[in-house]
Amino acid sequence: MGYVEGRNIIIEWRHDEGRADLQAESAAELVRLNVDVIVTAGLERSIAAWNATRTIPIVTMSGDSVGSGLATSLASPGGNVTGLTDLGPGLSSKRLELLREATPRASRTAVLATATNSHQLQLRALELAAQTLGVELQLLQVRGAEDFGRTLTLDAGRRSDVLVVVHSGFMYDHRAPIFAFVDGSRLPTMYADRDWALAGGLMAYGPSLSDLARRAATYVDKILKGAKPADLPIEQPTMFDLVINLKTAHALGLTIPQSVLQQATEILQ
């Protein structure tokens, strides 16, 4: 689009390590710097930015912007937040369906989530899907990094047949204890984006994050050229990844049905 960092655009990068206190601190700092636009990844970060400013435009790549109150509607956001939705709650049920299809004998599904608002929206969607599929859910909840050791125990793994890791930046930032639990419990696990599968996870389904990021750049461009976020409709994803790691499936002694493999956009051997 013609932007060259350091020449005609300056980017202030911030990362919060999945910590709520750092999310608020980073957002407040960017507001003090009086940046022209804030780009956020994840609903918690979007809410933190929105709490810090109602005037600086925010381009979000996150979950339910309307349900969380960040925008009035997808077509007419109405405030200072626009961008893209990753369909977090809506895709939760699809992830459960795919995992169920891949492991038809599984009846008890553990769900690893936090107590955040974005996870509660996804949990409700999972509960509805579980009722339809006849699946029993077991909630494994963490409120902070210190909870992983207490929540992800050998006993928790024994009580379930498969695992769904609810999507968020916090979970991604704490991959190490999650993978350690999955390796120890040998639970077939569904994740939200392809990076998890590339790192050894069994399956991942979600919007193409690289595509969302490229499309978010078009919003930044429009805003820098004078467009108002209130007038820019929030877009939904159009490209999705279903990544299956057959090496991990083999290690688990699991044969992925052909019906699932045919839906995959990427199969890791």
- Each residue of 92-136: pLDDT tens digit? 889 999 999 999 989 899 999 887 666 777 888 889 889 888 899
Evaluate whether residue 165 is within a structural domain: yes
Q: Rounded to whole angstroms, what are the CA distances from 155 to 161, 214, 260?
A: 12, 42, 30
Evaluate whether residue 60 is within a structural domain: yes
Lowest mean pLDDT among 16-20, 45-49, 169-173, 203-207: 16-20
Q: Specify the pLDDT at position 107.
A: 87
Average pLDDT over residues 156-177: 86
Q: Which domain holds residue 228?
A: 20-87+208-239
User: What's the pLDDT tens digit per position in 214-232?
Assistant: 999 999 999 999 999 999 9
Q: Specify the pLDDT at position 17.
A: 74
Q: Rounded to whole angstroms, what are the CA distances from 246 to 59, 110, 261?
A: 36, 22, 10
Verify that 213 and 189 share a domain, yes or no.
no
Q: Round to whole Å and give the CA distance between 27 and 248.
A: 39
- The yes-or-no verdict on residue 89 having pLDDT over 70 is no
Verify that 98 and 43 share a domain, yes or no.
no
Verify that 153 and 58 share a domain, yes or no.
no
What share of the chain has pLDDT > 90, as a percent? 65
Count of domains observed in the chain: 2
258: confidence class by pLDDT, cuts 50, 70, 90: very high
What CATH number should be reported for the domain holding residue 218? Answer: 3.40.50.2300
CB 194 within 8 A of CB 103: no
